[in-house]
Amino acid sequence: MKIKRIALSLTTVLILGLFSGCGNTKSGENSSNTVTIGFFPNITHSQALVGKQKKSFEKAFGNNVKVDWKQFNAGSSEIEAFLAGAVDIGYIGPGPAINGYTKSKGDVQIIAGATDAGAILVSRKDEKIKSVKELANKKVAVPQFGNTQDLSLRNLLQKNGLKDKTKGGNVEIVQADNPDIKTLLSSKQIDAALVPEPWGSRLVVETGANVVLDYKDIWRDGKYPTAVVLVRKEFLKEHPDLVDKFLKTHIELTNYIQKNSSEASNVVNDQIYNLTKKKLSKDVLDPAFKRITTTNDPERDATLEMVNLSVSTGFIKEKPDTKDLINLQPLNKALKEKGEKQLQ
């Protein structure tokens, strides 16, 4: 009997332990002990970097909720983390966001914008390319196939009667990490590159690259998203209160950066140094920061156009149902409560 009683007690402890463990997971509970935020150590994720430096999200969530920051260097790896449930909400490029939405059949949603523009097309120092048409028979680099810069480049080529070599054209598009693009440009292994900031400014300052198209000339007069806020649909459903607090903080950070550009750029630079042990020089930071526009608007029309580009270029096999790709209800609720204009 004593042995049976001990066994029963152990079983009870195990069951209680399992249930108490479930209370700390992100499924099926009305409260979450941890919010995992994804981001890049890049100026296009300025709200994340300023918020991280100032502990803005921690203050908004309160003492009972821990913020777990997850740093990424590629949209594809961040999307994998989102789809695995390892990231709840965060900052990411619209290209990977679209791919994640399509791949998961709607498990993630764009709920706000973060940064517009912030990318430039440059050519090698000794290649005096003056227009997109002059990219014919040239080799052009982008950070990643299917990402925002890649889609922007393919759109530019299409509008100028050019095509990627793999599609029967005469422009060779190659993908390389941003640091490698700098090496490739310096060693004359590529002729041009379309890259996000601060890499565009770095290529100009550090390699003498020529600006072929500035940020407003890349697409839609600069009204296209470079970073958006993405959320797991399950997390939004289970923790609308936390998403609301996140978005209100995001709005406050956007306003702060817009009104205090110089100060905010220094905060961003400090946080980049904390994360990477590398600080941007003033002659790179200033022009790079001027080429981005912080915003709450995910630029619906431009984002949906990116979906079409992803389909036409083969990154998405067939056009997905985009009805739920962008969900503005949580953002508009937060904007209304803060007395700001809602988005259509």
Instruction: Give DSSP secondary structure letters for 223-268.
Output: -SEEEEEEEEHHHHHH-HHHHHHHHHHHHHHHHHHHH-HHHHHHHH
Query: Is residue 20 one of the residues assigned to a domain?
Result: no
Nearby residues of 53 by Cβ (< 8 Å), 6 or more positions away: 267, 270, 271, 274
> What is the predicted pLDDT for the residue at 317?
84
Which pLDDT tens digit goes with each residue over 151-206?
999 999 999 999 999 989 999 999 999 999 999 999 999 999 999 999 999 999 99
Which pLDDT tens digit goes with each residue over 257-301?
999 999 999 999 999 999 999 999 999 999 999 999 999 999 999
How far, in Å, CA of 257 to CA of 16, rounded? 47
Q: Are residues 163 and 294 in the same domain?
A: no
Residue 79 belongs to what H/E stretch? helix 75-83
Q: Are residues 315 and 256 in the same domain?
A: yes
DSSP 15-53: HHHHHHHHTTSSSS-S--SEEEEEE-SSGGGHHHHHHHH
Query: Is residue 136 one of the residues assigned to a domain?
Result: yes
Q: Are residues 278 and 157 in the same domain?
A: no
Q: Are residues 44 and 143 in the same domain?
A: no
Of 318, 299, 322, residue with least CA distance to 148: 299
How far, in Å, CA of 308 to CA of 203, rounded? 30
Q: Are residues 332 and 230 in the same domain?
A: yes
Q: Are residues 189 and 320 in the same domain?
A: no
Which pLDDT tens digit goes with each residue over 56-86?
999 999 999 999 999 998 888 999 999 999 9
Q: How many residues does the chain have?
A: 344
Query: Is residue 23 one of the residues assigned to a domain?
Result: no
Could you give the strand order of the β-sheet that contains 192-196, starting from the edge strand earlier in sequence? 172-175, 139-142, 192-196, 119-123, 210-213
Residue 257's domain comprises: 32-116+225-337
Query: Is residue 196 one of the residues assigned to a domain?
Result: yes
Q: Are residues 198 and 261 in the same domain?
A: no
Q: What is the CATH number of the domain that holds 111?
A: 3.40.190.10
Q: Are residues 40 and 53 in the same domain?
A: yes
Query: Is residue 267 one of the residues assigned to a domain?
Result: yes
Q: Are residues 105 and 201 in the same domain?
A: no
DSSP 3: H
Which pLDDT tens digit goes with each residue over 296-320?
999 999 999 999 988 888 888 888 8
Q: Are residues 232 and 243 in the same domain?
A: yes
How far, in Å, CA of 160 to CA of 135, rounded? 10
Domain boundary among 198, 222, 246: 222
Query: Is residue 127 one of the residues assigned to a domain?
Result: yes
The pair of three-digit structure tokens given for residue 320, joined into one six-digit string: 């997905």
Domain boundary among 182, 197, 222: 222
The pair of three-digit structure tokens given for residue 114, joined into one six-digit string: 């973060």
Q: Are residues 182 and 264 in the same domain?
A: no
Query: Is residue 183 one of the residues assigned to a domain?
Result: yes
Count the Cβ atoms, other than its own, within 10 Å of residue 292: 29
pLDDT band for position 31 (50/70/90)?
A: low
Q: Are residues 159 and 177 in the same domain?
A: yes
**Count: domains in the chain:** 2
Query: Is residue 218 one of the residues assigned to a domain?
Result: yes
Average pLDDT value over all residues in the chain: 90
Domain boundary among 166, 200, 222: 222
Amino acid at 256: Y
